[in-house]
Structure 1
Amino acid sequence: MLPSVRYRTSDRVRRLSGNYQISDREREILRLIATGATNQQIANALGISLNTVKVHLRNIFAKIGVASRAEAAMYAARTGLVSLRDTPPDPPASPDISAPSAELDAADTALPEPSDLSASDRDAVQFDHMVTVSLWRRVTALPRDALIALLIIVGSVAAIVLAVVVAPRASSPSVAASTPTALDPQRWRQLPSLPTGLASFGLAAYSFDGRSFLFAVAGDRGAAPSGDVFRYDLASALWVPMSRKPTPVTDVRAAVIGGQIFVPGGRTASGAPTAVVEAYDPQRDSWRALAPMPAPRSAYALAVVEGKLYVIGGWDGASYRADVWQYSPDDDTWRARTPMPTVRSYAAAAVVEQSIIVVGGEGPTGPVATTEKYSPAADSGAGNAWSTQAPAPLSVSRIDAGSTGGLVVVVAHDDRGGHLLVYGGQTDVWTSTPIPVAGYDDSRVQTLGGRLYLIGGRTAGSASDRFLQYQVLTSIFLPALP
């Protein structure tokens, strides 16, 4: 054998067998890739910059000899970096959950091994209510090309299923918003309540030292704006008060870039919006002031793409707005971008494949179902950065949205009760499913690790302290192949 051929063959064997040296950080990133996380979601989860994620990815691809995220995900599965037990364990439920706790905990946390399934179940791919394909097991006998083909087929089938129907395991009738049914233990869990009722606050997820946290920032308790900051540890299931935000505000949102939580604008105690922007350092528990926004703004939509913060629409104290402002943390500057086609406030935004999906909100005529997509990379000033998408199933305002697996997930409500609205970023299709959870105005949503967290909100003139978890992650079991 020629030396060059011998080297390449040996090189490929080491790559396939997982013998290349991969750092702990690279292993974390590989696991996140296998869950379908985007570069921005990885950066947010690990508290690192977007550029650092890209550098890690280039190094990982070179080390393991792959050219795509799909191949990297399969490498992670084949070498045991991901398994059926890789998702974080459910934190303990609050003691007042209304069901036999032992049975609920077992049903909610245990994932069946393929050996526990019936023969007919093992012969079929089992999709269990939506979103992210992440749990690969016992698929090691196929050649790489066949595995890639299988992954593409499974992903295509998942997209079709999600576009047609999104339904819980056990169907639940529509219920009045004030009287939700008992939580479905297969999907919903009640977690430890917020230390106080809270609405219209900023919510952000942040990870460091191998631990994941949620931060609830500012908002209001039903009346005056607050500067409170509460940190929730997903491992210990405890809320802890942190250093207060210097400027108390409500009608705000929060986002993470490069290990900092950014909170722009908001409505002050005077009732007027502010242009103040403040950033919180979770590791130092400290705040600092940043360059103010171009004008005061509250009730905006907020998103992060490629390490830049985007403030979209909102309320200026006198009128609904369509402005789009881009903030660059690198030089602490703001820049006006192409305005949104629809003026509105209290809309929600989520990022799918580096585009921002803006949903709902309210304008001069009331709540809207409008869905529009903004592509920052296409914003050259030529007017092609925005496109109109399929409208949401409901006209909704004062909502929040999360994204996972290429889907936008919105928790909304009307006079029939709560609804889970799911939008396919690739298919431009919405689905709506009744849920056994009351819908409150000004709740906040965060997607993390295949789960959706629903926190706070406004009900009957007061702020709610509720904290619920919804299981979004799909489990797929594939048979061992000869």
Structure 2
Amino acid sequence: MHNWVRASSSDLTGAPPQPRSGHTAVNVGESMVVVFGGLVDKKFLNDIIVYDIDIWQWSELTSFGDLPTPRDFSAAAAIGNQKIVLCGGWDGKKWLSDVYVMDTMSLEWMELSVSGSLPPPRCGHTATMVEKRLLVFGGRGGGGPIMGDLWALKGLIDEERETPGWTQLKLPGQAPSARCGHTVTSGGHYVCLFQLPFALFGSAYRRLPISNDEPPPPRAYHTMTSIGARHLLIGGFDGKSTFGDLWWLVPEDDPIAKRSSVPQLRNPPETKESERDLDTMAAEALRQHWKESTPETLQLKELNALLRDYQRLVTRKYTAQSSLTSTDFGLPGKQTFTFYHIKTSSELRMDDIPKLLEEYKTLVI
């Protein structure tokens, strides 16, 4: 079972993208979500904005090389942990079928030369990497009907040394109806399609069960990005309004899922600083989760967030009484906080985790 949870503004630092539709958003590596282009106030864009989920920060970047033309309704996906592939879209005058690859380390774009039969030019489609192939589904182009076809592009993995080429696929099972402006996100051997959630297991479609009744408002031209077991939905358009919101689709036992059931605070934060200091519904739910955790139940993927909150709580409670200059931070009559100066959880040893959790629980009231 999964839950929808709206992301709090306190999750974000830096300047987020303007509310937009028809953009793409791709998770690259362990911490980057890369947003490309889209439509803002009737203007087509080819900008690159990156959200770093490790430090919760948005940054606008400058790319180089064979830049894609400004467009909306294109589709993009990650190739491994470093590259992004972008295909198709609408530039305000014509439907596109071109394919570009960007290296996120150098921020350089390259247009891909593809041989053989090509999918019809289109926009509003999806592009999803599943193992070594890019799957493109649906969309609309050429003024014709909405499409429900499925294509696979090979030749994107350097080590395979394959000539890039397209193949149209036919799968068993109840396929989604023809559509455009939808989203598809992948994980392992399956794909999940929104707005009606379906999962593809063993090359057959199956509806994804949702346990809560608080989904995002209906929309099209949004993005939905896979980040581990979580999926992040950004923006979109409902026919009247352009969205700038973010929604998580997470397993119901994920700590984020607890946010949807936590009541509103009676005394909300009064300043922007305090809003960002985790005095929010999300923070209270996570802190309660960690307070009840043991070293055996705590997941490794939670350590970075736990360490950040540990350091935040130490700073808030004790900076008025200390300069925080010692390696082991402590106060007269108070316990020592061993991990205040640790930069990331990768510096922790496994036998540090019980001590970290013990000290954290003394900070949470």
Q: TM-score range by the shorter chain?
A: 0.5 to 0.7
- Which residue pairs with 1:131 in the alignment? none
Deviation at 1:431, TM superposition (A): 12
Q: Find the counterpart in structure 2 of residue 243 from structure 1.
A: 64
Q: Which residue of 1 aligns with 2:170?
A: 338
Q: 1:203 aligns with which of 12, 25, 45?
A: 25
One of 144, 169, 176 as aligned partner of 1:318: 144
Match of 1:401 among 193, 200, 224: 224
User: Normalising to structure 2: TM-score of the pair?
Assistant: 0.54
2:205 to 372, 380, 386: 386
Determine if contact 1:403/1:409 at 8 Å carries over to the other structure. Answer: yes
Partner amino acid for 1:252?
S
Change (3 A) 1:411 1:279: closer
For residues 395 and 338 of structure 1, the distance between their equivalents in structure 2, rounded to whole angstroms, comes to 29
Q: Return the offset for 1:347.
A: 1.0
Does residue 374 of the first structure (1) align with residue 200 of the second (2)?
Answer: yes
Which of the pair is proportionally richer in strand? 2
CA shift for structure 1 position 389: 4.6
Residues 326 and 334, structure 1, Cα contact 8 Å, conserved in 2: yes
Aligned: 1:290 with 2:122: no
The C-alpha deviation readout for 1:166-200, integer Å capped at 9, x for no partner, is 779xxxxxxxxxxxxxx957xx4332114766432
Partner of 1:308: 133
Look up the equivalent residue of 2:42 and give its one-letter code: A
- Measure the CA separation in 2 of the matches of 1:425 and 1:480: 20
Q: Cα–Cα, structure 1 residues 205 and 422, in superposed 2: closer, same or farther, change >3 Å?
A: closer
What residue in structure 1 maps to residue 184 of structure 2?
Answer: 349
Which deviations, in whole Å up to 9, do the C-alpha atoms of 1:267-326 show, x marking residues without a partner?
Answer: 1120x3211111112223322112454211211123221132111111124221111111
TM-score, structure 1 length as denominator? Answer: 0.42
Higher RCO (CA-CA < 8 Å; seq separation 6+): 1
Change (3 A) 1:265 1:435: farther
Q: Deviations over 1:182-223 (max 9, x none)?
A: x957xx43321147664322222334xxx9544322222222
* Partner-residue secondary structure (3-state), 1:266: strand
Counterpart-to-counterpart distance in 2, 1:253 and 1:435: 36
Matched residues in 1 for 2:260 and 2:234: separation? 10
Q: Which runs of 5+ in 1 are unaligned?
A: 1-161, 169-182, 361-369, 380-384, 437-469
The CA RMSD over aligned residues, in Å, is 4.5
Encode CA deviations 1:311-365: one digit per residue, 9 max, x unaligned.
11111242211111111214211111126431111111122442001111xxxxx
Distance across 2 between alignment mates of 1:341 and 1:349:
11
Question: How does 1:181-200 map onto structure 2 within 5 Å?
Answer: 188-194=10-16, 198-200=20-22
- The DSSP-based 3-state class of the residue aligned with 2:38 is coil
**Distance of 1:349 and 1:358 partners within structure 2:** 4
Q: Does 1:227 align with 2:52?
A: no
Letter in 2 for 1:354: H
Q: Per-residue deviation at 1:242?
A: 2.2
Unpaired runs of 5+ residues, structure 2, are: 264-281, 298-365
Please say if 1:218 is aligned against 2:37. yes
| 1:265 and 2:71 aligned | no
Q: Is the 8 A contact 1:231 1:241 kept in 2?
A: no
Conserved in 2, the CA contact under 8 Å of 1:201 and 1:219?
yes
Letter in structure 1 aligned against 2:35:
A
- 1:388-433 CA-to-partner distances (Å, cap 9, x unmatched) read 4558967543333234564555568989x9795747599xxx9995
Q: Residues 243 and 215 of structure 1: is their aligned pair in 2 closer, same or farther, counting only changes over 3 Å?
A: farther
Alpha-carbon spacing, 1:395–1:216, altered in 2? closer, same or farther (3 Å): closer
Contact 1:302 1:311 in 2 (8 A): yes
CA distance in 2, matches of 1:402, 1:239: 19
Report the equivalent of 2:294.
478
Q: Provide Cα deviations, 1:41-70, integer angstroms capped at 9, x if missing partner.
A: xxxxxxxxxxxxxxxxxxxxxxxxxxxxxx
Taking the aligned partners of 2:295 and 2:48, their CA distance within structure 1 comes to 47
Aligned CA distance change for structure 1 residues 202 and 269 (closer, same or farther; 3 Å): same
1-structure distance, mates of 2:5, 2:104 = 37
Which deviates the most, 349-358 or 188-197? 188-197
Question: 1:371, 1:191 → 2: CA distance?
Answer: 30
Letter in 2 for 1:200: G
Check whether the contact 1:206–1:213 (CA below 8 A) recurs between aligned residues.
yes
CA distance in 2, matches of 1:395, 1:167: 15
Q: Distance between the aligned counterparts of 1:203 and 1:327, measured in 2?
A: 19
215 and 410 in structure 1: CA distance in 2 versus 1, 3 angstrom threshold = closer
Mapped partners of 2:152, 2:76: distance in 1: 14
- Please give the secondary structure, in 1, of the residue aligned with 2:92: coil
Counterpart contact for 1:228–1:241, Cα < 8 Å? yes
1:228 offset after TM fit, Å?
A: 2.4
Aligned 8 A contact 1:299 1:314 in 2: yes
